[in-house]
Structure 1
Amino acid sequence: MKSLQFFKAGGRLSRGGFWLHGLVVWGVLYLVWSALGSSTASALTWLVNLPALAALVLLCIRRLHDRNYSGWWLLLVAVPVAGALWLVWQLALRRGVPEGNRWGPDPLLPRGDYLVVR
């Protein structure tokens, strides 16, 4: 199994990998916030939220790469309703392009044989 990579912008991320990585980020964020309690200072809030936000943005960029879009398409989140709906459709529901693209090969294709006889 490939290791979880949260702070990487290059390459592609499959739909299942996107869901797995996203759930891990949200789960860790929830656990940290539960441990801190409700009385947190604003500086501590930034220290917790910024890495989580960076990880989620980088996951979205890699998922857009899998759909053969540039990461700049993530800026569509600024379009009130249509942009967010389009991003949910592309990121969470659609399969990546089956062939390789400029960001790498299809992450769902097998990478090689585990048993090599020479």
Structure 2
Amino acid sequence: MESSSNPYQAPSNGPSPSGSPTPLSTKQVLFGFTGRISRRTFWTGSLAIGLGFIVFAGILSAATGGSIDPETGNPTGMSSVAALIIGLLYIPMTWISLALQIKRWHDRGKPGWWCLINFIPIIGGLWSFIEVGCLRGTVGPNEYGEDPI
């Protein structure tokens, strides 16, 4: 029995046969650069990734002999292996942060290239925070997909 769908075509985030948008999987939300996500999904993903990284780095640092200097509050004594592992974790963390932010720009009806505004000192970060983190996305479908309920 033949299927009418093309097995080589990427799955779309368009409406399902029932008429409601198909939600993105966790993998698509964290690692893909297409589609749209809501503010709630953006903040949940950002906080989960950030807090998870901080907790993991703290545990790893403490397990390898690191401590906090009581006078300055700065970490001291982290092993080079722990520093290397933490440094390597920045790569997927940066990827996930970009994926989340680009999908929020898409929800606002703008291309993902708008995430480059973060490189403008002070104003860029503030603009991005307001647009991506605070303002509601476009209502209804736009060129990047259906409204992410």
| TM-score, length of structure 2 as denominator length | 0.67
Cα 1:101/1:2, change in 2 over 3 Å:
closer
Match of 1:19 in 2: 43
Please state whether the residue corresponding to 2:30 is helix, strand or coil. Answer: coil
Gaps of 5+ in 2: 1-22, 67-77
Counterpart position of 1:36: 60
Tell me, in whole angstroms, the C-alpha distance in 1 between the residues paired with 2:52 and 2:24. 19
The alignment's TM-score, normalised by the length of structure 1, stands at 0.83
**1:25-81 per-position Cα deviation (integer Å, ceiling 9, x unaligned):** 112111210221141424323211111111111100011100011110111111112
Tell me, in whole angstroms, the C-alpha distance in 2 between the residues paired with 1:72 and 1:86. 14
Distance in 1 (alpha carbons) for counterparts of 2:53 and 2:134: 24
Match of 1:94 in 2: 135
Deviates more, 1:37-46 or 1:65-74: 37-46
- Distance in 1 between residues matched to 2:132 and 2:60, nearest whole Å: 31
* Matched position secondary structure for 2:144: coil
State the identity as a percent: 30
> What residue in structure 2 maps to residue 66 of structure 1?
107
Q: Give the whole-Å Cα distance in 2 for the aligned partners of 1:18 and 1:88.
A: 11
Which of structure 1's runs of 4+ aligned residues deviate more than 3 A? none
Shift in Å, 1:2: 6.2
Partner amino acid, structure 2, of 1:84: G
Counterpart CA distance in 2 for 1:87 and 1:77 is 7
Query: 1:81: which partner in 2?
Result: 122
3-state SS in 2 of match to 1:46: helix
Q: 1:40 to 1:106 in 2, by over 3 A?
A: farther
Structure 1, unpaired ranges of 5+:
109-118
Corresponding position of 1:113: none
Aligned residues: 108
CA distance in 2, matches of 1:15, 1:50: 23
Q: 1:49 aligns with which of 86, 90, 98?
A: 90
